[in-house]
Amino acid sequence: MNSYITFIVKKVLLSIVTVFAISIFAFLIMQMTPGDPVRAMLGAEADEEIVEATRTELNLDKPLVVQYTLWLRNALRGDFGTSLVLNQDIGEILATRIPVTLSLTIPALIISLVLGILIGVLCAVHRGSALDQIMTVLMTTMNGIPVFWIGIMMMYFFGVKLGWLPLMGYTSPFEDFGQYVAKAVMPVTIMAFGPLSSIARQVRTNMLEVINQDYIRTARANGLSESSVKYKHALKNSLIPVITLIALQVRSLVGGSLLGEQVFSIAGMGRLIMVSVMNKDYLVVQATVFVISLFVVVCNLILDISYGLVDPRIRLTGGKGR
C-alpha cells in the first residue's frame, strides 16, 4: 500500500509539473505568432497613443516573464481577463462554452466505450469467424478515415439528401431534449468514430492474450463453463488496460471536438479556440488552451489512480514496470 501511495504522490506531482508546463505553452503560443493583437483589436488606423495606452493596460509593455507571472496568478484564480474581440469577460465565455462541449464529448466517450468493448469481446470470443474478420477490417478502416470527411458525408446524406437531421446548430438538453438529440447525433457520431475503433481493437487484443493465460486454462480444467471462463474471468482482466486507453481517448475526443464543432457550427470550446486564433484574440486562446489541457491532465490523474485501485500489481509495485 505504501508503494501505491508513492505512486499516487508521483502522479500528482507529475500532473502539477505538467500543468505548469502547459501554462507556459498556453501563454507563449500566441505571443510567438506574428501580428499585433492590440492593432487587431483597435484597427490599423487607431491612434498611436490609444494603442500604447491599451498595451499598457493589458501589461503588454512589460517583459515576457512579468507578463507570464501576472497571467498565471490571475489564471489560477479563474481570472482570464476580457476578450479583445468580444469585449466580454473570458470566464463568462468559458462558462457558456464548456457545457456545450461536455454535452457532446461525454456521450461520445460513453458510446465509444460501450460499443468498443462489445465489438472487441465478440471478435475475441469468435476469433477467426466471419464476424471477427468483417469487424476487424471495419475498425481498421474507421480508424483511417478523416473525421472531417465523415462529417461532410453525414451532413450530405442525413441532412441534405434524406432530411432526417438538422445540418447545423446546437440546442441544450435542458431546453429541448428532442432537439438536442437530433442536432447532437452527427457530431457525437464523428467524435466517437476514432475512439470506438481503437477501444474495440485493444479489447480484442487484450482478451485474446488473457484467454491464453495459465489461470484461464486452470479455470477450464476445474470444470468451469466456457461462458463463465470468457465472460467472468477473461473479460474482467482484459478490461483493466482499457482504463489507460480511456486517457488517450479523452485527448482524442478533445481534438475531435475542434473539428466536430467547426463542421456543424456548434458554439463550444473547439469552435471558440478556432475563431479566437483567426481573430488573434490571444487572451481567449491562452485561456481555452489552459482550461482544456487542465481538464485532460485531471482526467489522466483520476484514471491513473483508478488503474491502481482495480489492478493489484500497481498497489503492490507502485506502478513499476507498468
DSSP codes, 283-310:
HHHHHHHHHHHHHHHHHHHHHHHHHHHH
pLDDT value, residue 23: 81
3-state secondary structure of 89: strand
* Phi, then psi, of 89 in degrees rounded to 5: -60, 125
| DSSP 8-state secondary structure symbol assigned to residue 174 | T
- Band (pLDDT 50/70/90 cuts) for residue 97 is very high
- CA–CA distance, 322 with 308 (Å, rounded to integer): 11
Residue 116, pLDDT > 60, answer yes
**Mean pLDDT lowest for which of 63-67, 75-79, 253-257, 306-310?**
306-310
pLDDT value, residue 45: 67
Q: Average pLDDT for residues 12-19, to the nearest whole number?
A: 87
pLDDT value, residue 95: 92
pLDDT value, residue 278: 81
3-state secondary structure of 82: strand
Q: Average pLDDT for residues 286-315, to the nearest whole number?
A: 77
Contact between 286 and 71 under an 8 Å Cβ cutoff? The reply is yes
How many of the other CB atoms lie within 10 Å of CB of 77?
9
Contact between 288 and 22 under an 8 Å Cβ cutoff? The reply is no
The contacts of residue 30 (CB under 8 Å, 6+ apart) are: 37, 277, 280, 282, 285, 286
Residue 213, pLDDT > 60, answer yes
Nearest to 270 by CA among 284, 282, 283, 280: 284
More confident residue, 1 or 159: 159
| DSSP 8-state secondary structure symbol assigned to residue 322 | -
| Residue 265, Ramachandran bin (φ over 0: left; ψ between -120 and 50: alpha; else beta) | left
Mean per-residue pLDDT over the chain, rounded: 79
Question: What does each C-alpha distance from 123 to 21, 136, 159, 238 come to in angstroms?
Answer: 41, 8, 33, 13
Q: According to CATH, where is 1.10.3720.10 located in the chain?
A: 97-278
* Phi, then psi, of 82 in degrees rounded to 5: -115, 135
pLDDT value, residue 250: 77
The contacts of residue 259 (CB under 8 Å, 6+ apart) are: 147, 148, 151, 190, 270
3-state secondary structure of 141: helix
pLDDT value, residue 44: 64
Dihedral (Cα; 150, 152, 153, 158), 10-degree rounding: 110
Q: Average pLDDT for residues 201-212, to the nearest whole number?
A: 81
Q: Is the pTM of this model over 0.85?
A: no
**Mean pLDDT lowest for which of 7-21, 77-91, 200-214, 217-231?**
217-231
- CA–CA distance, 267 with 169 (Å, rounded to integer): 8
* Phi, then psi, of 127 in degrees rounded to 5: -55, 135
Choose the most confident range, by mean pLDDT, from 90-99, 207-216, 221-230. 90-99
Q: CATH number for the 97-278 domain, one of 3.40.50.150, 3.90.850.10, 3.40.50.10540, 1.10.3720.10?
A: 1.10.3720.10
pLDDT value, residue 322: 52
Residue 210, pLDDT > 80, answer no
Residue 233, pLDDT > 70, answer no
- CA torsion through residues 70, 71, 73, 78, sign: positive
- CA–CA distance, 46 with 39 (Å, rounded to integer): 7
Q: Average pLDDT for residues 275-294, to the nearest whole number?
A: 84
